[in-house]
Amino acid sequence: MTITAAADGSALGNPGPAGWAWYVNDDCWRAGGWPHGTNNQGELMAVLDLFRATAHVPQEDLHILCDSQYVINCITKWMPGWKRKGWRKADGKPVLNVDLLKDIDRELVGRKYTFEWVRGHAGHDLNEAADERARAVALAYQQGIAARSGPGFGRADAPGASAAGADSDETGEPDFFSEPEPDLFSQPEPDFFSEPEPDLFSELDADAFAAPGSDPSPEQTVEALERELLRPDVRSDIGRIGVLLHPEFMEIGSSGRVWTRDAMMMSLEESPGSPMELELIGAERIGADTILLTYRSHSRDGAALRSSVWVLDGGQWRLRFHQGTPEA
């Protein structure tokens, strides 16, 4: 069976607030973006995320509709030569968007795929749907509002979904994402994962907080998951981070910058940082399926007061919101 999808990107200002999207049908699509990016980055990210989102059905052919000759040529013509030259162009200059291209190159292994160029803004239904969603994300970043990320790929009724796909994350979120966005202290490294000291509890899990012979409480489980997120080996594991962060995750950094799930995951993949010590202040139920966790973190840069909101999503506790404030 062939999965046919359109992939597209959008940037307001180019560079500027940017979005990307791939689209199969109204029940099978995904979108994301960054506060600052280019059209080409958006187009490449849409293709990369499509490959990652369909990694659980590698036997299916991918037919990718793309209105960017640049993206098609990068992947089908130029990459082999760039790789032989150490990811440099014929003039010796570094290849643009090399991190995205390297990630795409890894995802191509073992996959069957074809690209088809379609003219943009010419009434092609799938291309128009992908473009609409990519532009909506770019506009959302421009206006500072939330954007729809889509159901993703993996539902039992999605094209090409198999038994393996039906057993995957019920939210339909692909397991692996990354968005090329720098981190939060200099264009800074995400505040949540600032550069910390070793965590005395880094190897503890939920069971460690439960009384012998009993299941951990939701509050204990959430605390253990928060501690897990403070470990660099976990933060660099995109698959695990994809499970722990809610699809609509948001962080407000100490600088006032807003981080989305996609931007956070890309930043962590590039720079997971070092461990952080957690001093629990409280774990409070603020709803039937919502827990507010407050704690003090300790690092070489000092202490910070932090709050995290965890929600129960499809039987899995996932981090929905985080904010940290350096302690005077």
Q: State the catalytic residues.
A: 8-9, 43, 67, 121, 131
C-alpha 110/C-alpha 59 separation (Å) is: 9
Asked if residue 169 lies in contact with residue 176, where contact means CB atoms within 8 angstroms, the answer is no
Which residues lie closer than 8 Å to 215 by C-beta, 6 or more apart? none
* Residue 85 token pair: 């030259």
Which residues lie closer than 8 Å to 121 by C-beta, 6 or more apart? 128, 131
CB-side exposure of 260: number of CA atoms within 13 Å? 27
* Residue 201 token pair: 């509890």
* Residue 33 token pair: 């973006």
Which residues lie closer than 8 Å to 296 by C-beta, 6 or more apart? 278, 279, 281, 303, 304, 305, 306, 327
Is the N-terminal amide bond of 198 cis, ω within 30° of 0?
no
Asked if residue 242 lies in contact with residue 312, where contact means CB atoms within 8 angstroms, the answer is no
